[in-house]
Structure 1
Amino acid sequence: MSVIVVLISASLFVAIGFLIAFIWAIKTGQFDDKYTPSVRMLLDDKKSSEEESASKKKNQQSTKGS
């Protein structure tokens, strides 16, 4: 029974340590993305479903007319 108490308290100690490390990383900006904003203008925007359906209809009409 005493082994269970030791293991539970050790696991709580480790979990609290990870929580403190996570909070520290967030506060110091470790998860800030510094690369993506500089290349965001180079990335293609995803088409919305309305734009895709309109372009499909336009393509179908142009192939029927030919």
Structure 2
Amino acid sequence: MEILYLLIPLSAVLVFGIIAVFGWAVHRGQFDDLEREGERILAIDPDGVDGDQSSSKGQPEQSPDRQSGHS
């Protein structure tokens, strides 16, 4: 029974913390335009290749011993 004296205030603090984080996210505009972000991930982006990926031109990397022909 004594544990309730700890758990009830602790859960109240947790609930207030969650409400504070949600309020902060709403105030910062995290939930303003959900449709655009949902469409953005489906759109084809031709410039979406990283710099290290564009240098290989789709060729898989090979280990140095396979490039020289040794097995």
TM-score by length of 1: 0.49
TM-score by length of 2: 0.46
Q: Which structure's residues are more often helix, by fraction?
A: 1
